[in-house]
Chains A and B, each alone.
Chain A
Amino acid sequence: MRWAAWVLLGSGVALAARDVGERAQAEQLLEALKSAPPAAKSATTEPVAKSRAALAKATDQRQAGDTAHAELNEGLAYEWAAAATALTRATEREAELAKVERDVSELSTQEARARALLEETTSRRDRAVGQLKQLDAAPSGAAP
């Protein structure tokens, strides 16, 4: 009987720790999201609002003694906060991607320009070689 009591107590503590953990984690994530860049902030408005609403509901439920549903709402709050965090990262990566793609496009233009310049200089050099040959072949005493 004693071991059963310990198991029950232990699992209760573990459950409590997990749920308190989810509230704490949700709050931590929401706090971190405050410093997200503006573009990411606007993208995460909805999940952040949902997370805050769930936390508020959980607080009310805890005050009313409905711990079971409060824990579920804390879990829900954590889930939305985690989704918002991932969304922030995705938005940042996509912005970075857009910048790198712009750089690639610009380099591609520069490369095309460099190739054209190379061709032009090759022609210039070939022209000089041709004229030098012509000069060498011309009978002495007459300018080409």
Chain B
Amino acid sequence: MRPRQVSAVNGARRPARVGAATGGRPYQRAAWLLAPAAFVLACASAPRPQVLSQADQVAESPQAAAARAEAPQAFEHAESLRRRAEAAHEAGDPAAAAILSERAIAAYSHAFVLVRLRRAEERLAAARAELKTRETALAKLDEEHVALERDAEALELKLKVARDRVPRAPLGPADPRREEARLISARALVAEARLLCVSAWMLDAERPGLKDQVASVETLGQSLEAKTQGAAAAPVDAALTARAACLSQLTQVRRAATTGDPSSPAADRLLEALSARGGLEPRREDTGVTATLRAVFQGDKPTPAALEALEALAKIAKANPRFPLLVVVHDARADERAKDLARRLEAFGAPRVEARGVGDRLPLVPKGTPGAASKNVRVEVIFVSPLN
């Protein structure tokens, strides 16, 4: 503005001087001729600031079109700043025009960022909604799977029981070696049947028919103990049937509890607690969750390490009162030692403990194998599971 004003002022002075010299000097005529040109030059606008052109370019960009639609207020603010910059330029203030142009560019940038922010927020809302939908779907699938898994397990157990109960062709006479193997097998099956029936009895002592079943297994066991090698054929079929009947009893005892609390994580937690203690070799079996202790006795008394383990087991049993304990001793003085350990577990606070000795009827490795004795002699503490 200032240069143009100055020029205009200068231009206005000239006619005054020319008017004073109308006497007719030669340069006066030239001055009269130059005056309009000077006036035009003075009125010509100052060069357009580059930053204003940049603002124009930004306003015409594709991003600007999006901002006009999606961030109209911010875009209009930028447009008004550009108009102010234009006005400052027109008014001949290039410094103000440049600052306002730059501000317009900043305002356009702001509008573009607002579009970016809006789009990000929209996508975020959609992604969160999808996440929620997928979480719900996954939870439903998990639920379906738990129910299905329960069905499958129940059916498989039913199948196992049914298969065991299918009458087999009676075994014919065999040579003495095979007969000896049959006798060992029958004793093992009866020992297993006893543990299954005792487990069922611990969970529901009043179950109809269970008492008779237990009695019949005991009778079978006694007859097998009395049997000597080379006598009449070993009753393997009867032992197998007894085991199947006891497993069936246990399954039925558990059915009510399983139906009431189908996805109970109690057994998993118990297994975790036993694993966390370490040195207990925990595993699942038909009877429940079993912990194994080795080298428990030194002479007639349990070792200090075994007592520590028993105390830990009693503590876990106390925390899981739905799982009664069944102590099973696998060695020569099994019954007596099993009772001793059961008493100690009770003294340590285990709520309910039963004891059974099975001698050498359930070996882990065949007799005669190197190191068999150290592997087979053991104490098993079964947390009898109330759930299938």
Size class of the B contact interface (CB-based, 8 Å): 35 or more
Q: Which one of A50, A104, A114 contacts B127 once the chains associate, using CB atoms below 8 Å?
A: A104
Query: Whose C-beta in chain A lies nearest to the C-beta of B105?
Result: A79
- What 1/0 mask marks residues of chain A from 68 to 110 whose CB sits below 8 Å from any chain B CB? 1100110110011011001101100110110011011001101
Known: A111-B141, A135-B162. A121 touches B152 (CB 8 A): yes
In contact, B131 and A73 (Cβ under 8 angstroms): no
**Stretch from B95-103, B222-230, B263-271 that touches the partner:** B95-103
List of B residues within 8 angstroms of A142 by Cβ: 166, 169
- Residue of A86, A101, A143 ringed by the most chain B CB atoms within 10 A: A86
Q: How far is the CA of A73 from the CA of B106 in the complex (A)?
A: 12
Q: Which one of A79, A107, A121 contacts B103 once the chains associate, using CB atoms below 8 Å?
A: A79
In contact, A97 and B127 (Cβ under 8 angstroms): yes
In contact, A83 and B113 (Cβ under 8 angstroms): yes
Query: Whose C-beta in chain A lies nearest to the C-beta of B99?
Result: A72
In the complex, whether A62 has a CB less than 8 A from a CB of chain B is no
Q: Which one of B110, B116, B163 contacts A79 once the chains associate, using CB atoms below 8 Å?
A: B110
List of B residues within 8 angstroms of A122 by Cβ: 148
List of B residues within 8 angstroms of A28 by Cβ: none
Known: A121-B145, A129-B155. A111 touches B120 (CB 8 A): no
In the complex, whether B293 has a CB less than 8 A from a CB of chain A is no
- Residue of A50, A104, A117, A138 ringed by the most chain B CB atoms within 10 A: A104
In the complex, whether B128 has a CB less than 8 A from a CB of chain A is yes
In the complex, whether A18 has a CB less than 8 A from a CB of chain B is no
List of B residues within 8 angstroms of A128 by Cβ: 152, 155-156, 158-159
Q: How far is the CB of A30 from chain B (nearest CB, A)?
A: 14
In the complex, whether B256 has a CB less than 8 A from a CB of chain A is no
Q: How far is the CA of A73 from the CA of B101 in the complex (A)?
A: 11
In contact, B155 and A125 (Cβ under 8 angstroms): yes
List of A residues within 8 angstroms of B110 by Cβ: 79, 82-83, 86
Q: How far is the CA of A135 from the CA of B156 in the complex (A)?
A: 12
List of A residues within 8 angstroms of B123 by Cβ: 97
In contact, B135 and A86 (Cβ under 8 angstroms): no
In contact, A111 and B134 (Cβ under 8 angstroms): yes
In the complex, whether A132 has a CB less than 8 A from a CB of chain B is yes
Q: Which one of A96, A114, A124, A143 contacts B163 once the chains associate, using CB atoms below 8 Å?
A: A143
In contact, B144 and A118 (Cβ under 8 angstroms): yes
In the complex, whether A140 has a CB less than 8 A from a CB of chain B is yes
In contact, A96 and B106 (Cβ under 8 angstroms): no
List of B residues within 8 angstroms of A76 by Cβ: 99, 102-103, 106
The prevalent SS among residues of A at the interface is helix
In contact, A72 and B120 (Cβ under 8 angstroms): no
In contact, B166 and A114 (Cβ under 8 angstroms): no
In contact, A72 and B96 (Cβ under 8 angstroms): yes
List of B residues within 8 angstroms of A69 by Cβ: 95-96, 99
List of A residues within 8 angstroms of B156 by Cβ: 124, 128
Known: A47-B109, A75-B103, A87-B113. A135 touches B127 (CB 8 A): no
In the complex, whether B198 has a CB less than 8 A from a CB of chain A is no
In the complex, whether B281 has a CB less than 8 A from a CB of chain A is no
In the complex, whether A131 has a CB less than 8 A from a CB of chain B is yes
In the complex, whether B114 has a CB less than 8 A from a CB of chain A is yes
In contact, B163 and A117 (Cβ under 8 angstroms): no
- Residue of B99, B151, B168 ringed by the most chain A CB atoms within 10 A: B99
Q: How far is the CA of A135 from the CA of B161 in the complex (A)?
A: 11
In contact, B114 and A86 (Cβ under 8 angstroms): yes
In the complex, whether B117 has a CB less than 8 A from a CB of chain A is yes
Q: Which one of B124, B135, B142, B167 contacts A141 once the chains associate, using CB atoms below 8 Å?
A: B167
List of B residues within 8 angstroms of A135 by Cβ: 159, 162-163, 166
What 20 new A-B contacts, CB under 8 Å, besides A118-B148, A125-B151? A47-B109, A68-B96, A69-B96, A72-B99, A82-B106, A82-B110, A86-B114, A86-B117, A97-B127, A100-B127, A107-B138, A114-B141, A121-B145, A121-B152, A122-B148, A131-B159, A132-B158, A141-B169, A144-B163, A144-B166
Contacts A/B (CB < 8 Å), 28 sampled: A50-B106, A69-B95, A72-B100, A76-B106, A79-B106, A86-B110, A89-B117, A90-B116, A90-B120, A93-B117, A94-B116, A94-B120, A96-B124, A97-B123, A97-B127, A100-B124, A115-B141, A117-B145, A125-B148, A125-B152, A128-B152, A131-B159, A132-B158, A132-B159, A135-B166, A141-B167, A142-B166, A143-B168
Q: Which 5 A-B pairs have the closest CB atoms?
A: A128-B155, A79-B106, A83-B110, A125-B152, A93-B120
